[in-house]
């Protein structure tokens, strides 16, 4: 089955965690397939959306403060534990996304690892930037954490993460998750999944 959905994602985003959890149901209802593409969202922000950093510096920003409440509402609706933010926020996520890129050609393993990593960060409040934590997450999922850590440090995997990140920027993305339907129909965030579903059903 040709994938009609591309899901560009970074593990450090709580909204991506929710969308990752909700996407399989959408795919089941529409009969569509998806391909998961790891990116470094910090690279995206640096290139095209630096306002994210400015907003984080504004402790009294009403929109930001309200977003934490809305995040918990969405998490409750999806049945996803969301113990966030933690002491590790914001995560740089470079190591985590290199782990994901090392698995990108094995989509089943990538989805398994990413799901477990989301739980590690957003439920157990573990450090997403610690390669030892990432290796332990991989081991718990039946993957070889040490081998994966070694692969994540390779120049090929580092380059792949840069290529994926540059690609989503070139295609108009500005954060995580960025979702494409049929290559050029772009959506952003967990709250736009109903629009993704509607597009797939058209």
pLDDT digits (tens, 9 = 90+) for 49-108: 777 656 666 667 788 889 889 999 999 999 999 998 888 888 899 999 999 999 999 999
* Count: domains in the chain: 1
**Residue 28 neighbours by CB under 8 Å, 6+ apart:** none
Q: For residue 81, what is the DSSP state?
A: -
Question: pLDDT of 98-143, one tens digit each?
Answer: 999 999 999 999 999 999 999 999 999 999 999 999 999 999 999 9
Report how far residue 145's alpha carbon sits from residue 18's, in angstroms, rounded to the nearest whole number.
25
Angle at 127 between CA 126 and CA 128, to 5 degrees: 110
Q: What are phi and psi of 92, to 5 degrees?
A: -75, -35
CATH of the domain at 100: 3.40.30.10
Taking residues 25-45, what's their average pLDDT? Answer: 97
Q: What is the domain extent for residue 14?
A: 5-201
Distance between CA atoms of residues 64 and 55, nearest Å: 7
pTM of this structure? 0.94
Asked if residues 101 and 134 have their Cβ atoms less than 8 Å apart, the reply is no
CA nearest to 48, candidates 169, 167, 165, 184 = 169
């Amino acid at each position: 089955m040709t994938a009609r959905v591309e899901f560009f994602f970074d593990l450090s985003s709580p909204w991506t965690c929710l969308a990752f959890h909700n996407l399989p149901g959408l795919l089941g209802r529409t009969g569509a397939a998806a391909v998961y593409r790891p990116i470094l969202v910090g690279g995206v922000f640096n290139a095209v959306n630096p306002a994210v950093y400015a907003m984080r510096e504004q402790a009294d920003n009403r929109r930001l403060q309200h977003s934490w409440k809305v995040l918990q509402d969405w998490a409750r609706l999806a049945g996803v534990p969301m113990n966030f933010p933690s002491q590790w926020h914001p995560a740089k996520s470079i190591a985590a996304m290199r782990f994901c890129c090392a698995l990108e050609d094995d989509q089943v393993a990538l989805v398994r690892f990413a799901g477990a990593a989301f739980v590690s960060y957003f439920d157990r409040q573990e450090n997403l930037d610690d390669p030892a934590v990432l290796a332990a997450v991989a081991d718990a999922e039946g993957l070889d954490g040490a081998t994966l850590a070694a692969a994540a440090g390779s120049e090929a995997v580092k380059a792949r993460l840069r290529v994926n990140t540059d690609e989503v920027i070139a295609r108009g993305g500005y954060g995580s998750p960025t979702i494409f339907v049929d290559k050029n129909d772009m959506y952003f965030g967990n709250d736009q999944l109903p629009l993704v579903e509607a597009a797939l059903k058209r």
